Amino acid sequence: MDFQLKTFVAAGITACCALFPAPSNATGTINIQHKDGTVNTYRDVEIKVFSGSLFLTSDGGNGTIVVTRSACAYREQIIVCLPTTAALVQDGDSNALDLKTGTIYLNYTNTEQPLSHTSAKIPANSVILALSMNNGTFINVRGRIDQLIRQQ
């Protein structure tokens, strides 16, 4: 299946949509598990955070998933967000994603940080995302944040 699939979803946090070509050093990976059990994996995904919005762009810039609204709070050094609105931006069109539940963990620090109530850790300057859609699709994202521009 193709990255352009309308049921494709993923992550992040508050407001606009854009397409950015991914550089060759992008390290993010998106895994999409569909209701029928098939899995699509996208590597070299560029991860950008602009003024509170999370952008996940495919290698070559063919599509961008943007999480446009989330409830976020600090848990120690980690920011934990519960996304409520996301969209797939492709070929100039924006299509809302039908989110059921999700969690985003953001580590803006320069050191690895422990996740609460587990032995797992999130690497420095990284994101971990897990989303489920109402259609039975699950999205998982892991990777280094390629660019961070904080809201002033």
pLDDT tens digit sequence for 65-96: 999 899 999 999 999 999 999 998 989 999 99
Question: For position 152, what pLDDT does the model report?
Answer: 55
* The pLDDT of residue 14 is above 50: no
The model scores a pTM over 0.85? no
Mean local confidence (pLDDT), 49-57? 90
Domain extents in the chain = 28-149
The residue among 82 and 19 whose pLDDT is bigger is 82
Count CA atoms within 13 Å of residue 56 on its CB side.
34
| Chain segment 92-141, per-residue pLDDT in tens | 999 999 999 999 999 999 999 999 888 999 999 999 999 999 999 999 99
Question: For position 24, what pLDDT does the model report?
Answer: 46
* The pLDDT of residue 142 is above 90: yes
Question: For position 151, what pLDDT does the model report?
Answer: 62
Mean local confidence (pLDDT), 21-30? 68
pLDDT band at 148; cut points 50, 70, 90:
confident
Question: For position 4, what pLDDT does the model report?
Answer: 33
Mean local confidence (pLDDT), 25-52? 91
Mean local confidence (pLDDT), 33-45? 94
Q: Which stretches does DSSP call E strand in the chain?
A: 28-33, 39-50, 53-57, 64-75, 78-90, 93-96, 99-107, 113-114, 121-122, 126-133, 138-144, 147-149
Rounded-to-integer distance, Cα 14 and Cα 90, Å: 18
